[in-house]
Amino acid sequence: LQETNKETGFSSDNNPTEAETAVWNQVSAVLEEAHGILAELQSYNGAGQEIREAIQNPGDLQLQEKAWNAVCPLVAKLKRFYEFSLRLENALRSLLEALTSPPYAPMQHLEREQALAKQFAEILHFTLSFDELKMTNPAIQNDFSYYRRTISRNRLNNQQLEAENEVNNEMANRMSLFYAEATPMLKTLSNATTKFVSENKTLPIEDTTDCLSTMACVCRVMLETPEYRCRFTNTDTMLFCMRVMVGVIILYDHVHPVGAFAKTSKIDMKGCIKVLKDQPSNSVEGLLNALRYTTRHLNDDSTSKQIRALLQ
């Protein structure tokens, strides 16, 4: 991400100021772990074959055991991803507090605390990368459903399985809800942002939404302006900007009373969607889907037909 850092203009200097250090350190530890989480998800192949064989041969105990032994380490991985989402939520919260606290306006915050703004962008980049991988990997939900079915079957037979100590019923319920979402990490962050705004009654909601709309604008301008774009030496930097832009749009849409798609929105949605549509479709389809399915206000009457048509 160093290169991204130099090119995106989110931060000319990645060193936090003294006031930022505590938050920066907390978020930095989470972001370090994020790389490993993405790598693990990328190589997640699932236990489809073993599960199929076990289901087709219910009487073959050896195959049942083989499937169970294949699924358990995968569920431990899924638990790790879920627990990481909770740490990511806390990191986002700390960043929101730092980037919206009085007396500064959002734009001043983003200029003064560039290292934190950069971390905020990196969290969104991770979130959309994670969700894109999850969306295209049906094995995750298949493995987890098989795990839950096996546990409840054994419970009926009064058998306690060792793996239950790892993922108890309450944890399994929470994980189920998490993985049932099309974009679980984004949903976690959207909920966290909404909660942040509702818990901070004294903080004008605009302080949060302006911070988000400013970041969306920075990304859009960098993506649509040729002299900025020609500085991007690789497609990763383009993707970074696009993911951050989509991420802040979705958070804005969850937090703002009328959302990102209304005429009064401070985000130029037409411009943002156009920038995405100008890219090769295989690299942006996941991001367009996130706008279609993870936003709150796209189908409101206040959304123009033009914008809806762009997302058809």
Write the pLDDT tens digit of every residue in 14-56: 567 776 788 999 999 999 999 999 999 999 999 999 999 999 9
DSSP annotation string for 230-291: TT--SHHHHHHHHHHHHHHHHHHHHHSSS-SSSTT-SS-HHHHHHHHHTS-HHHHHHHHHHH
Least confident of 74-88, 163-177, 249-263, 273-287: 163-177
Q: 82: pLDDT confidence band, cut at 50, 70 and 90? A: very high
Given the structure tokens 């190589």, which residue do they identify? 43
Q: Which of 242, 119, 127, 122 is nearest to 192 (CA)?
A: 127
pLDDT the model gives residue 207: 85
- Residues 169 and 97: beta-carbon distance below 8 Å: no
Confidence (pLDDT) at 113 = 78
Closest among 202, 199, 183, 186 to 254, alpha carbons compared = 186
Contacts of 107 (CB under 8 A, 6+ apart): 210, 214
pTM: 0.84
Q: Is the pLDDT of residue 58 over 70?
A: yes
Reading the block at residue 104, the tokens are 């500064």
Task: State the pLDDT at residue 187.
Answer: 92
d(CA 99, CA 189): 16
What span, in angstroms and rounded, lies between the C-alpha atoms of 89 and 29? 13
pLDDT digit string, tens, across residues 133-170: 999 999 999 999 999 998 888 765 655 556 556 788 88
